[in-house]
Amino acid sequence: MKTVIEVNGKVHELDVPPDEILLDTLRALGYKGVKRGCETGTCGTCAVLLDGVPHYSCMLLTAAMDGHKVTTIEGLGTPSNPHPIVQAMAEEGGVQCGYCTPGIVLSAKALLDENPHPTEAEVREALDGHLCRCTGYVKKVKAVLKAADMMHRQGGQQ
Amino acid sequence: MSERQFKVVGHSEVKVDALALASGQPLFTDDVDIPGMLHAKILWSPHAHARIVRIDASEARALPGVVCVLTHEDVPRVMKTTAGQGWPEPSPYDTPMLDSKVRYVGDRVAAVAAETRKIAEEAIKLIKVEYEVLPAVFDIRTADAPGTAVIHDEPDAKAVIPVPYWPERNTAAYVDMRIGDLDAGFADSDVVVEQEVETQYGQHCPLEPHVTICRIDEYGRLVIRTSTQVPFHVRRIVAQACGIPVRQVRVIKPRIGGGFGAKQEVLEDIVAMLCLRTGRPVKLEYTRSEEFVSTRTRHPSVSRVKLGFKRDGTLKALYLRVRTNTGAYGSHALTVVCNAGAKTLPLYRCENIGFDGDSVYTNLPVAGAYRGYGGTQGAFALEVAMDEAARTLGKDPVELRRALHIREGEGSAVFRALGEGQEGVEQKIGSCGLSRCLDLGAEAIGWKDRDSRRGSGRYRRGFGMCALMQGSSIPEIDMGSASIKMNDDGSFNLLMGATDLGTGSDTVLAQIAAEALGTTLDRIIVYSSDTDLTPFDVGAYASSTTYLSGEAVRRTALKVRDQIIVVAARLLNCQKEEVELPGNGTAAGRGKTVSYEDIARHALYAHDQFQIGAIASAISHASPPPFAAHFAEVEVDTFTGKVRVVKYVAAVDCGTAINPKLAEGQIEGAVANGIGYALLEEMVFNDRGLCLNPSFRHYRIMGPMDMPEMVTILVPTYEPTGPYGAKSVSEICINGPLPCISNAIRDAVGVRLTRSPFTAERVWQALQGRPA
Amino acid sequence: MMVKELHRPTSLDEALRLLSSEGARPLAGGTTLLLSLGAQALVDISRCGLDGIEVGDQAIQVGAMVTCAAVVRALRQHPSAFSDAASLVGSRVLRNHVTVGGNSVMVYAWSDLPVALLAMGASFELATLAGRRTLSADQFYAAHPTRVLAKGELLVSVSIPRPGAGEGSAFVKFARNVGDHASASVAASLAMDSSTVRSARLVAGGVKGMPQLLGKAAASLVGRPLDDAVLQEMAELARTDVDAIADFRGGKDWRRHLVGVLAMDAVRLAATRVRGEAS
């Protein structure tokens, strides 16, 4: 089925089986930062921003995504030019195995886009729907708060 | 204990892979696209216990797109263990690649490799199996009773080290130990406390499920790219299972998405065989439900502890009995049950100590290595009993621990008597900050004024604590090694077998290397866990990476340092003894300075050329325990029974924290996992052995909004046998939440929860006075 | 998971036409469908104008495609059992997927919205090619909605009555941790005459297949003030009246006890809204 989606600003004209999930499509297109963890909409490692809003890509049929915009972690900078949230995650010790991190960074971005000065409780709420087995979330939450601070100093969002 | 100052060690350097991981770089096993790759799927047993009378894969083989189907009739029968342990393994050889018998719902029946995942899934459904269903064994307490169905009745199951192994009684492991005179000790006691506890099936839940890609390279060698904690054991055991020489196998561990012990297991054999048979690359990726049921779990347990005290608080007798349920196969059975005693009993000074441990087979998912590794089960029993003892003796639980715990300079007969499967190793405690952990932890939770904070009415608060020890490596048995070479620009390649599962060991070990080499972290290029390129390491388990692999790295770096000094002396025109390495990648002598770049270029190109580099190994001769004191404040909703952890304090002595932030991360992650195990997590089975909740929807782990206020306190000591004074930190803290929370609930509402998880229903039932 | 066709209609009429063929099912949030798909044709109804929320004087009109997250955002100033339930469905990310339509129709023991909608007396607008009909909550939940809906019939919007003077509602849920399915839940809808109850509806969820009206418990409140003794009596009636199953989220006794506790909590919370206190 012909489907057009935009990923990180790049338009992809696709022809996909009607039951292909967006997770599989994105990984096949090379967006390996989108991970497979449960395929049941519970762990968040597959999370992307759909029109700026966090969604589980394992719970979306690609063919139904025609006309939508997707943001993956690859759309948020590079290791040499990292997004402040990515940088803060690294610096605060919020990255252990790293498998859950891209999804969490995206939800954090969605939060900070809407609420540039969140409280700790609001950060925790924004990470709800993401599971991490390595960190206990402690330093991940710290990292998002630090990123908010960094972005504030930089004078706005990226 | 004075804090030594190091240049790189002791600093919270950013993890060398952190930015790449956080940016979503394609670093994990499945993040490569290999042309011609086949997808593997496994047919799992629907029965808990059955013989395969007939298996017909013809329809599956005929399905277009199916390239290979393997049943037990198609593969060699090689009995092995899947346990990723050093050879000869202390786990029984009871697991062939595929068998004509199935022993749990989720056991392997057959394997398919096909062009797409969909076709593989279709093919699985076309395999026809006729089973003779056998009576199944599910109860840990009666699995060894006479007349019970024998799960391992095959004649070729065996133990390969001289340890008790009685499969005819469904007993996979047995160990006992006596020190002093237990009967006399109890007879001499004024107060005797007995406690029974029970722990449940839990799964590690690494966010990345097990995944393996095998391919045949251009030289005909089998290359296994896999999410593993034990690359060298994978190489050896896959070679054994497939009947090919070790030299034909290469194992590469990329970045992996967590392990926690689930990946200290060799499950790659079936993928390897599909690859060898087809000659094509093959990927096996477990789904989440398969990860729950068909990889590995924690050993459920029932334990009984008996403590005998004099009225003044002296411990006269200490007895621990632990039985674990190892599930359908005996991987890690002996070592986990031994550890239940080995990582708990030395904690308190006592002349009369007894331990009885065994592990039974059941027709349930296979238990294996899981962070804590018996220590979790044992500490629950011991620290709950200590709490009851404190109450009976009228002593503060903190003070009771403080009076009794082992001190620096002391030993325990348990160290020698109880190792991991075999006799252990005698040792004296070289560093112990437990007393300070007790002080700082008590202060952070507000222990002194807890009486005034319990509240009344519907919500009651309570406070509980526990003391813990673990170990650092398996002495005399495990080995790690590293090699280092110097490059033109003064940088170094650090190659080590040691396995980073997300813990940050690449970084920690690179910090040790940088410290010993006299350079900065950014000059160390780390490559680890590739059996062709990195020297041997047993892998990431037994809390050994920092302590043991770190020591190997330190020794290697010191050898290289000597060579640097030799060349520096030449360049500086002075004696070796006059050369100083200030730690910033330079060498100074006789008032002049040269850079490591100068030194490297000279050695590589100029004169008397040689590659500055070295290889070194380490084994340990002790397993110095880290120590910890944990404190929990809980709130119990007396109407519903729900327990909420309000605040959790972990004060931890891990010697020198090579990287404090990473050490804190280990503590925090372990505590989160432990709280989940204490309150939420339980794999539930129906009466036919089917797991009812193999998904995150129904098996709940801690989420970001569930976490309490977490206080992490590093209490530095200096372990003389550890690299730069380090001990381990990775496992110990997962053992705290079970006893801490049970103790806190007891404090809050006067009921003792002894069966985990402490669900709201169980708490409510206890409050009604009913048995849980 | 096998889907033979996927259609992306851009009007409700087109959607209804497609839904009238054999084996066609609507795709809203997809969270149920993607976990249990057979071979079928899916009709993606996200482009049919069903995603509006309108706060009217008497009622709030919510289109079937409105997500739980959108409900939470839109109704912050209008706390009720409905907005409570929407805020507790799944996790924060999942609430960007789960729709009011989907969660209202695909009822499971743990479903949250149906419990609240039944308590609040919502009404359900259904459409086929032939025309429209409106069902009350009692009618819609008289059986499992998939059996109440005619072939090819689509839920297009839900109408939630706004509380009048002296009215308020609340929904509370017990789950093992944040984001878990309910072990038990209760929605309470109250109408008060100053401090006595004029009418009440209590619905229990999470304990058995369909939401259960707690008739006796609700009746016990009528004409009485909401003091502790009244609430205890009500809770006991709720506990004895409700039917519960046992599964790994809990046994029968404890779940029925929970319903009693949650009934008290829900009534107390609803009462604060009647008084116009904090949400």
Whether B25 sits inside 8 A of A91 (CB atoms) is no
Last residue of a domain, one of C161, C192, C210: C161
Task: Based on the fold, state whether residues A104 and A68 are members of the same structural domain.
Answer: no
**B117–chain C Cβ distance below 8 A for any pair:** no
Given a cut of 60, whether residue A36 has pLDDT beyond it is yes
In tens, the pLDDT along B98-149 reads 999 999 999 999 999 999 999 999 999 999 999 999 999 999 999 999 999 9
Task: Based on the fold, state whether residues B307 and B285 are members of the same structural domain.
Answer: no
Query: In angstroms, what separates the C-alpha of A5 from chain C's closest C-alpha?
Result: 14
**A70–chain B Cβ distance below 8 A for any pair:** no
Contacts of A43 in chain B (CB under 8 A): 207, 288, 696
CATH of the domain at A66: 3.10.20.30
% of chain B at pLDDT higher than 70: 99
Whether B207 sits inside 8 A of A39 (CB atoms) is no
Task: Based on the fold, state whether residues A54 and A96 are members of the same structural domain.
Answer: no
**B475–chain C Cβ distance below 8 A for any pair:** no
Beta bridge partners of B367: B297
Give the mean pLDDT of B452-456.
Answer: 95
CA atoms within 13 A of residue B158's CA, in its CB half-sphere: 8
Contacts of C73 in chain A (CB under 8 A): none
Task: Based on the fold, state whether residues B305 and B405 are members of the same structural domain.
Answer: yes
B362 band by pLDDT with thresholds 50, 70 and 90: very high
- CA-CA distance, B223 to B514, in Å (whole number)? 31
**A38–chain B Cβ distance below 8 A for any pair:** yes
Contacts of C181 in chain B (CB under 8 A): 697-698
Task: Based on the fold, state whether residues A100 and A58 are members of the same structural domain.
Answer: no
Give the mean pLDDT of B754-758.
Answer: 98
**A131–chain B Cβ distance below 8 A for any pair:** yes
Whether A61 sits inside 8 A of C90 (CB atoms) is no
In tens, the pLDDT along B170-224 reads 999 999 999 999 999 999 999 999 999 999 999 999 999 999 999 999 999 999 9
Task: Based on the fold, state whether residues A93 and A146 are members of the same structural domain.
Answer: yes
Task: Based on the fold, state whether residues A49 and A67 are members of the same structural domain.
Answer: yes
CATH of the domain at B376: 3.30.365.10
Interface list for B 278-297 with A (CB within 8 A): 285, 287-288
Spatial CA neighbour of C191 closest among C215, C160, C162: C162
Whether B26 sits inside 8 A of A33 (CB atoms) is yes
Tell me what the pLDDT averaged over chain A comes to: 96
**A129–chain C Cβ distance below 8 A for any pair:** yes
Give the mean pLDDT of A11-25.
Answer: 97
Give a yes or no: residue A59 inside a domain: yes
Given a cut of 80, whether residue A158 has pLDDT beyond it is no
Which residues have a Cβ under 8 Å from the Cβ of B580 and sit 6 or more positions away? B587, B588, B589
CATH of the domain at A147: 1.10.150.120
Put the strands of the sheet holding A53-56 in their side by side order. A10-15, A2-7, A69-71, A47-50, A53-56
Task: Based on the fold, state whether residues B337 and B445 are members of the same structural domain.
Answer: yes
Contacts of C29 in chain A (CB under 8 A): 59
Give a yes or no: residue C261 inside a domain: yes
Task: Based on the fold, state whether residues A44 and A108 are members of the same structural domain.
Answer: no
* Structure tokens, B320: 């621990």
The tally of domains found in chain A comes to 2
Give a yes or no: residue A48 inside a domain: yes
- CA-CA distance, B305 to B319, in Å (whole number)? 6
Last residue of a domain, one of B580, B595, B619: B619
For B539, the domain range is: 479-619
CATH of the domain at C235: 3.30.390.50
Task: Based on the fold, state whether residues B451 and B404 are members of the same structural domain.
Answer: yes
The tally of domains found in chain B comes to 3
Q: What ranges in B626-730 are assigned the alpha helix state H?
A: 660-679
**A5–chain B Cβ distance below 8 A for any pair:** no
Give a yes or no: residue C13 inside a domain: yes
Query: In angstroms, what separates the C-alpha of C254 from chain B's closest C-alpha?
Result: 6
In order, the DSSP letters of B406-431 are --TT-B-HHHHH--SSS-----B---
Which residues have a Cβ under 8 Å from the Cβ of C171 and sit 6 or more positions away? C81, C82, C84, C85, C88, C112, C115, C116, C119, C185, C186, C187, C188, C266
Last residue of a domain, one of A53, A75, A97: A75
**B35–chain A Cβ distance below 8 A for any pair:** no
Whether A18 sits inside 8 A of C42 (CB atoms) is yes
Q: Which of C88, C176, C180 to mutate: most B Cβ within 10 Å?
A: C176
For C154, the domain range is: 53-161
In tens, the pLDDT along B630-658 reads 999 999 999 999 999 999 999 999 999 99
pLDDT on residue B386: 98
Contacts of C251 in chain B (CB under 8 A): 761
CA C125 to chain centre: 15
* Structure tokens, B507: 């970084």
Whether B705 sits inside 8 A of C250 (CB atoms) is no
**B692–chain C Cβ distance below 8 A for any pair:** yes
CATH of the domain at C13: 3.30.43.10
The tally of domains found in chain C comes to 3
Given a cut of 60, whether residue B373 has pLDDT beyond it is yes
Chain B: residue whose CA lies nearest to A20: B118
Task: Based on the fold, state whether residues B447 and B318 are members of the same structural domain.
Answer: yes
Whether B697 sits inside 8 A of C181 (CB atoms) is yes
In tens, the pLDDT along B550-587 reads 999 999 999 999 999 999 999 999 999 999 999 999 99
**A127–chain B Cβ distance below 8 A for any pair:** yes
Please tell me which residue, B494 or A153, carries the higher pLDDT value: B494
Whether B640 sits inside 8 A of C180 (CB atoms) is no
Last residue of a domain, one of A75, A101, A134: A75
Q: Nearest Cβ partner of A19 from C3, C44, C90?
A: C3
Query: In angstroms, what separates the C-alpha of C9 from chain B's closest C-alpha?
Result: 28
pLDDT on residue B330: 98
Last residue of a domain, one of C128, C161, C194: C161
Contacts of C247 in chain B (CB under 8 A): 692
Task: Based on the fold, state whether residues A141 and A89 are members of the same structural domain.
Answer: yes
- CA-CA distance, A23 to A125, in Å (whole number)? 24
Task: Based on the fold, state whether residues C64 and C157 are members of the same structural domain.
Answer: yes
**B730–chain C Cβ distance below 8 A for any pair:** no
pLDDT on residue B1: 40
**A125–chain C Cβ distance below 8 A for any pair:** yes
For A141, the domain range is: 79-153
Whether A140 sits inside 8 A of B668 (CB atoms) is no
Q: Which of B116, B200, B288, B640 to mutate: most C Cβ within 10 Å?
A: B640
Give a yes or no: residue B172 inside a domain: no
Q: Nearest Cβ partner of C177 from B639, B682, B706?
A: B706
Contacts of B703 in chain C (CB under 8 A): 91, 177-179
A&B contacts, CB < 8 Å: 190
pLDDT on residue C185: 98
Task: Based on the fold, state whether residues C59 and C154 are members of the same structural domain.
Answer: yes
Q: What ranges in chain C are assigned the alpha helix state H?
A: 12-19, 68-74, 81-88, 100-105, 113-120, 137-140, 145-148, 215-219, 228-241, 252-274
Q: Is B139 helix (H, G, I), strand (E, B) or coil?
A: coil
Whether B640 sits inside 8 A of C174 (CB atoms) is yes
Last residue of a domain, one of C137, C161, C185: C161
- CA-CA distance, C24 to B320, in Å (whole number)? 62
Given a cut of 80, whether residue A32 has pLDDT beyond it is yes
CATH of the domain at C58: 3.30.465.10
Whether B700 sits inside 8 A of C176 (CB atoms) is yes
Last residue of a domain, one of B556, B584, B619: B619
Query: In angstroms, what separates the C-alpha of B761 from chain C's closest C-alpha?
Result: 6
Per residue of chain C (279 residues), what is the pLDDT tens digit?
578 899 999 999 999 999 999 889 999 998 887 777 655 799 999 999 999 999 999 999 999 999 999 999 999 999 999 999 999 999 999 999 999 999 999 999 999 999 999 999 999 999 999 999 999 999 999 999 999 999 999 999 999 999 999 999 999 999 999 999 999 999 999 999 989 999 999 999 999 999 999 999 999 999 999 999 999 999 999 999 999 999 999 999 999 999 999 999 999 999 999 987 654
Beta bridge partners of A5: A12
Give the mean pLDDT of B425-442.
Answer: 97
pLDDT on residue C38: 59
Give a yes or no: residue B353 inside a domain: yes
Tell me what the pLDDT averaged over chain B comes to: 97
Query: In angstroms, what separates the C-alpha of A140 from chain B's closest C-alpha?
Result: 9
Please tell me which residue, C276 or B233, carries the higher pLDDT value: B233
Give a yes or no: residue A158 inside a domain: no
